[in-house]
Structure 1
């Protein structure tokens, strides 16, 4: 680790038309650069964000070439790097402050800059801005990941005023883009219909995407997005900014066009009902806004983010994953020791790694025999499990598989001992009617006693089942009637809830750093980069219909790597088991099936499929992903993964036509191969008794496959085809 902290004194540069001193600050990655400069008022401006120039000494020329002047309103639309409200800039601010004397005006000017070379790939730039009238400062933080072409941006705020300061708004970033047109790709969701995509031109005004849900904050809108500049970008062409806010709570993204040629993105915590009272000397740190820039379309932007996630954000992002047999859709709440012991044998028979015991294993005074009772009472049900969960763990080990368990630690049923004994631990408004989602309420994680209870819940299960190898962490309710019985300042509630949750997860990971955990939350409604620090994977949707999953998984792929996405084969959908399995293999494979009810051929196919998946899973998890053919615009969807050596690839192809078609398809052009290498193509994961029409002995150059393509012969009779290219 190279650890150097240097106070940089930047070269004094001057424009040809002015005589004021100018500071220029460069935030650079392998291909891109963000240039920040001061003006004659010592304001910090965003001068350029785009591809690096060959000659870095030409950056100061950029600002002088901008001849556009909005009449007499030059100051009104300054392209400030971080806008504070109450002064001359009247665009949407990143920061709004009520100072200790009641004044709401903040003017930030440049003070100094420091850089820290963390290692050969990461460089942190810290820019200090101060208000000359008040002892108030904002430090803009930019962490550049050189090889991934990714920047993390956040701010740290503190003051030494004679009294408290109230932060009314505290975004992580303002990012200014220049162009003639801007197109926003964003995602909206609902239960079982996650990550629906829409793309629109941003016209006048502000487009806001936000969440006020408290938990499951991505349920309605995703905190990830893409911006195309000048024209709609394709997979392989066009300028694209891809970004996401790393925060598991309420978020707000504002997209504001101004002066005809600019777009300002303001990203941060949603300040809805969340004024923050900041004491003198206290340091307020915002979450990180993560973004990348690509001049080669959406595909490269995705690969940049995926590489960053795997290398730096996702827990064990470069490691292995376990395949699972989950009992939920097999038994639901109706099970006992005998049924579960048979399922551990089925886990071994199928060939997967883990038997996962889902909901319904706990509660005695109020048994968890349905969704209305028991939640919060984390003692095993003595009627269902006479020998306890410890015996299940031992049984799994005896059968040569691992044991995992389902939890929903943040939640409580009103019909539970926890609710009866600790009504002060529940989030609710006094003297108001309780409102339930899925028959449950949310525990108050702003309360340290509740945090202790959550940690103890997990810790006690590990004590009872030392061999516990997997946790499925669910979160099925939103926060209604937001209020804490112990929190002194209710304005801090939404922030303190997330801080409390993270405190619990930090403690769990300190004691159990390696145990895989799936973030469930009723589907992909709690999926953000911050959560992935603690979880090895997430459940993208309760909709496991493989046809729908093609589209859901396609959209998640814009921001999240396949190793993080759990895909299970279930009874949902009437497609054959091969189609279901082929779709689930495009990520982390799992099963929710009645193994004992599979036909002889379906069982044989599934056993072979697990082995086939094992032979190529590392390419899917750790290779470079290329979206080849869009399911929205084609009758065949296609996506590929190429290993780093570019000598092997896995290509998934799915028939998605819903109208009658003649079945003739053009070849699909591959990507990411070595044009000079020769390749053979073999169809894999065939159903027993079927023969592939693809000649696995024929050779093709990488150049041919990328320019002409290959026809996987997918049609209404061959609805899914997986190709191994070597």
Structure 2
């Protein structure tokens, strides 16, 4: 077996490397595990970047004869508090007397010839691709606590998978008050930091800034990853979309998280990601263990596009449920913006007929189908079909759709419960709430206590019954509020454990459902991108990335989300105008192009269209069906950023760069711009490509360096679509 992990006993170094990346650590003083390098593959390493240490006043040193060896400026792999390192720690443990001092020493290591599975958490899947895992054990002989640091590397990926496990081997209980999944120390070199911020209907907004001295921190305390600050951080220096070094990290987790960047007085940088330490602690009794979520560390020397490609390929190969990796997703029509809560049997049957006529492949019955659900204020938890709206039930509609070879989907918000429902009357103890205060409503609903296994079983059985009895092929799983009262009425664990236990309960539910029904397509939604993260992607292969379908706002949302997520993980719909979220009117061509850049669907009334509109939609659906494999399974590249210009452009190519689709969006018309010019890199420069619309022929090098001139028509929010096909291998 090819060995990608090496330990050199003479130099006390660990090296992880494949054809793309190297990650190097050193054990010094037979005690400390030190970070030395993470980046482009090295042919060999001989400590060329090892700093020359000097004694510093105020710097604590464990050996008085080696004052230059101080934890204050050592680049730790897992920094611990109260041992001379005054930067942010990655692990913190509290003993019975409230003391928080631990001192971990390097003990041993082992190498496993596979990726490791985590029992209760989503994780990088082991596949046929060669993988090895290094586990380094640190030990505190006084406290009798072991730390197991895991590093997994795959043969063809520049992504390193990191996590940490705490094992209490003592005879006393301890409290884990902080545990990050990854911590990396490096040097400040005028890098910029890239993160994302957002809100409902404005997810994944790009934030790039200089790094100041001090601590920069983002994260979530909402009980979900949230649209405000998703788990992502990247460092870059003079990097563009197409070139330059980028180091990025994310977290395979869906709950409260924390991402930190610290620049200290010596111009050292510390990057950290993991559980939110302000909302987390965990009681570890003798013999107990706690496993952190996995962090993914990606390096690229091909700019932000290269970094995104690394994440895209890794998610497709090692995160998305394997059955959905190469499976074409159905082209669907959703009832929501057509009917809102006013759904009924007649309308849905008409929708099925129209879907069949136009070429849709799945009809989704969104909110409003159950138990007198006529607004957002009622009925969640009482998942009984509303027989006033559906006198014959829903199953005949599913059968009617199947006769037309159309799938049928159903909306659920299973984690929530409305007041004055039968469920809450029967089980008031199932509500997440404090024992001292009345729980707060959010969107007129309470959150169910997913730490309770009875609640977990209720949700599993409810969704299972719908799948079994109705034979639906698609479930839209929504979650429309965040936690305000994170406590269980029934369990005695500490409140600071609640948020993580909730997520573990959610993962158990999703794991059982997706394992039992692998062929049902589960779509993640949280008012759009309110819980869009790699953890959810492990179970649900795609996410409705925003409730905002506006043709301008979607450019930024989709562009930003693509930094992390492959196109196959995103869904986007063509909606009507004026747009229901912004009241903006944008051409069908632009709206269609944006939706066609995802797993595409529609969200409008298609039952009363004019013959001309039917023809336009029918042609669009047929065109997308012909192109969707290229769009969802090919490579995706960002070309022009809507965050910094009046334009947005991106490109899809097949793996061999023989076909390409380029979309160029121009928003506001400017009279001084006589034409548009778009440079198209990433094609094979020594080959010729034909534009299938104009039949013009261009060289790949010409498109990359000269660019392609496009008409700048007098209107706002226009789009150009360019389809290129290779016609010669070499000039």
What residue in structure 1 maps to residue 288 of structure 2?
Answer: 282
Deviation at 1:504, TM superposition (A): 0.6
1:78 pairs with 53, 74, 80, which one? 74
What residue in structure 2 maps to residue 16 of structure 1?
Answer: none
SS of residue in 2 equivalent to 1:90: coil
What residue in structure 2 maps to residue 59 of structure 1?
Answer: 46
Deviation at 1:11, TM superposition (A): 3.1
CA contact (8 A) 1:629 1:638 kept: yes
Deviation at 1:145, TM superposition (A): 2.6
Between the aligned partners of 1:294 and 1:5, the Cα distance in structure 2 is: 19
Shift of the 62–626 alpha-carbon distance from structure 1 to 2, 3 Å rule, reads same
- 2:192 pairs with 1:183: yes
Between the aligned partners of 1:266 and 1:88, the Cα distance in structure 2 is: 19
Between the aligned partners of 1:555 and 1:127, the Cα distance in structure 2 is: 35
What residue in structure 1 maps to residue 326 of structure 2?
Answer: 318
Deviation per CA, 1:22-75: give whole Å up to 9, x if none: x10012232221110011252000011222222x1x333431x54676556333
- 2:656 pairs with 1:645: yes
Residues 592-611 of structure 1 mapped to structure 2, 5 A cutoff: 592-611=603-622
SS of residue in 2 equivalent to 1:661: coil
What residue in structure 2 maps to residue 672 of structure 1?
Answer: 682
What residue in structure 2 maps to residue 114 of structure 1?
Answer: 110
SS of residue in 1 equivalent to 2:504: helix
Between the aligned partners of 2:23 and 2:57, the Cα distance in structure 1 is: 27
CA contact (8 A) 2:188 2:263 kept: no
Shift of the 69–189 alpha-carbon distance from structure 1 to 2, 3 Å rule, reads farther
Shift of the 528–29 alpha-carbon distance from structure 1 to 2, 3 Å rule, reads farther
- 2:258 pairs with 1:247: no
- 2:342 pairs with 1:334: yes
CA contact (8 A) 2:488 2:498 kept: yes
Residues 563-642 of structure 1 mapped to structure 2, 5 A cutoff: 563-571=568-576, 572=579, 573-642=584-653
- 2:710 pairs with 1:712: yes
- 2:458 pairs with 1:458: no
What residue in structure 1 maps to residue 502 of structure 2?
Answer: 497
Deviation at 1:261, TM superposition (A): 3.3
Deviation at 1:709, TM superposition (A): 1.7
Greater CA drift, 438-447 or 318-327: 318-327
2:167 pairs with 145, 155, 158, which one? 158
Between the aligned partners of 1:193 and 1:326, the Cα distance in structure 2 is: 21
1:303 pairs with 294, 303, 309, which one? 309
Shift of the 531–607 alpha-carbon distance from structure 1 to 2, 3 Å rule, reads same
Between the aligned partners of 2:712 and 2:536, the Cα distance in structure 1 is: 38
SS of residue in 2 equivalent to 1:194: strand
CA contact (8 A) 2:675 2:710 kept: no
Deviation per CA, 1:439-497: give whole Å up to 9, x if none: 1010000000000000001111012112x111100000111122101121123211110
Deviation at 1:97, TM superposition (A): 0.5
Q: Which 5+ residue runs of structure 2 have no aligned equivalent?
A: 60-69, 115-127, 726-731
Between the aligned partners of 1:77 and 1:123, the Cα distance in structure 2 is: 31
Deviation at 1:331, TM superposition (A): 0.8
Deviation per CA, 1:336-366: give whole Å up to 9, x if none: 2111111111111221110000001011xxx
Shift of the 385–3 alpha-carbon distance from structure 1 to 2, 3 Å rule, reads farther
Between the aligned partners of 1:85 and 1:699, the Cα distance in structure 2 is: 63
What residue in structure 2 maps to residue 94 of structure 1?
Answer: 90
Deviation at 1:262, TM superposition (A): 2.1
- 2:263 pairs with 1:265: no
CA contact (8 A) 1:306 1:560 kept: yes
1:703 pairs with 695, 701, 704, which one? 701
Deviation at 1:196, TM superposition (A): 1.7
CA contact (8 A) 2:401 2:408 kept: yes
2:481 pairs with 457, 477, 480, which one? 477
SS of residue in 1 equivalent to 2:49: helix
CA contact (8 A) 2:232 2:259 kept: no
Greater CA drift, 145-154 or 438-447: 145-154
2:512 pairs with 472, 487, 507, which one? 507
Deviation at 1:9, TM superposition (A): 5.6
Between the aligned partners of 1:224 and 1:69, the Cα distance in structure 2 is: 36
Shift of the 421–275 alpha-carbon distance from structure 1 to 2, 3 Å rule, reads same
Deviation at 1:106, TM superposition (A): 1.1
CA contact (8 A) 2:71 2:85 kept: yes
Q: Which 5+ residue runs of structure 1 have no aligned equivalent?
A: 14-22, 684-694
Between the aligned partners of 2:418 and 2:106, the Cα distance in structure 1 is: 53
Shift of the 677–484 alpha-carbon distance from structure 1 to 2, 3 Å rule, reads same
Between the aligned partners of 2:656 and 2:243, the Cα distance in structure 1 is: 24
- 2:399 pairs with 1:390: no
Greater CA drift, 318-327 or 709-718: 709-718
Residues 366-377 of structure 1 mapped to structure 2, 5 A cutoff: 367-377=372-382
Between the aligned partners of 2:4 and 2:356, the Cα distance in structure 1 is: 54
Between the aligned partners of 1:137 and 1:269, the Cα distance in structure 2 is: 19
> Aligned residues, how many?
692
Between the aligned partners of 1:395 and 1:59, the Cα distance in structure 2 is: 69
CA contact (8 A) 2:158 2:298 kept: yes
Between the aligned partners of 1:725 and 1:463, the Cα distance in structure 2 is: 45
What residue in structure 1 maps to residue 354 of structure 2?
Answer: 346
TM-score (norm: length of structure 2): 0.91
